[in-house]
Chains A and B, each alone.
Chain A
Amino acid sequence: MLRRLLRRVSGTTVFMWLIGIAMLVVVVWGVYATLSSGRYKASDWIDLTVYGIAQGSVYALIALGYTLVYGILRMINFAHSEVFMSGPFIGYFVAMALSQSGFFNRQPFVSLIIVLLVAMTVSTTIAVLLERIAYRPLRRAPRLVPLITAIGASYFLQYTFLGLFGSGIKGYPEVAQLKGYWPFPGTSSGILRTQAVVIVSAFVMLAILYVFVQRTKTGKAMQAVSEDKDAAALMGIDVDRIIVITFVVGGALAGAAGVLYALLFKQVKFDMGFLPGIKAFTAAVLGGIGNVNGAMLGSLFLGISESLFPNLVLDGLGLPAPYQLKDALAFIMLVAVLIFRPTGILGERLAVKKA
Chain B
Amino acid sequence: MALLELQDIHTYYGAIHALKGISIHVDEGEIVTLIGANGAGKSTTLNTICGLQHPRSGSVTLKGESIQHLPAHEIVTRGVAQAPEGRRVFGRLNVTENLEMGAFVRVDKDGIKRDMERVFTLFPRLKERAKQVAGTLSGGEQQMLAIGRALMASPRLLLLDEPSMGLAPILVEAIFDTITEINAQGTTVLLVEQNALIALSVASRGYVMETGSIRLADTAEALRNNEMVRRVYLGET
Contact = CB atoms under 8 A, between A and B. Distances in A.
Interface of A: 217, 220-221, 223-224, 227-228, 230-239, 350-351, 353-354
Contact of B84 (A220, A230, A238, A239): A230
Interface string B59-93: 00000000000011110110001101000111111
B136 A353 contact: yes
8 contacts: A220-B101, A221-B101, A227-B91, A232-B90, A234-B50, A235-B102, A235-B153, A236-B77
Nearest to A230: B52
Nearest to A291: B92
Contact of B81 (A220, A234, A354): A234
A234 B76 contact: yes
A235 B150 CA distance: 8
A233 B92 contact: no
Contacts of B81: 234
A350 B135 CA distance: 8
B52 A233 contact: yes
Nearest to B142: A354
Given A235-B149, A236-B153, A238-B73, A227 B92 contact: yes
B93 A224 contact: yes
B92 A350 contact: yes
Given A230-B84, A237-B104, A223 B92 contact: yes
A237 B100 CA distance: 12
Query: Which residue of B72, B102, B135, B149 has the most chain A CB atoms within 10 A of its CB atom?
Result: B72
Contact of B82 (A217, A227, A234, A237): A234
Residues of B in contact with A, size category: 20 to 34
Contacts of B74: 236
Contact of B133 (A224, A230, A350): A350
B115 interface: no
B2 interface: no
A230 B92 contact: no
Interface in B34-55: 50-52
Given A230-B84, A233-B73, A354 B101 contact: no
A224 B89 CA distance: 9
A350 B105 contact: no
A141 B169 CA distance: 42
A231 B84 contact: yes
A217 B104 contact: yes
Contacts of A354: 91, 135-136
Contacts of B101: 220-221, 224, 232, 235, 237
B97 interface: yes
Nearest to B149: A235
Nearest to B152: A235
Interface string B109-135: 000000000000000000000000101
B72 A233 contact: yes
A289 to B, nearest CB: 15
A221 B104 contact: yes
Given A233-B72, A234-B84, A235-B104, A227 B52 contact: no
Contacts of B72: 230, 233-234
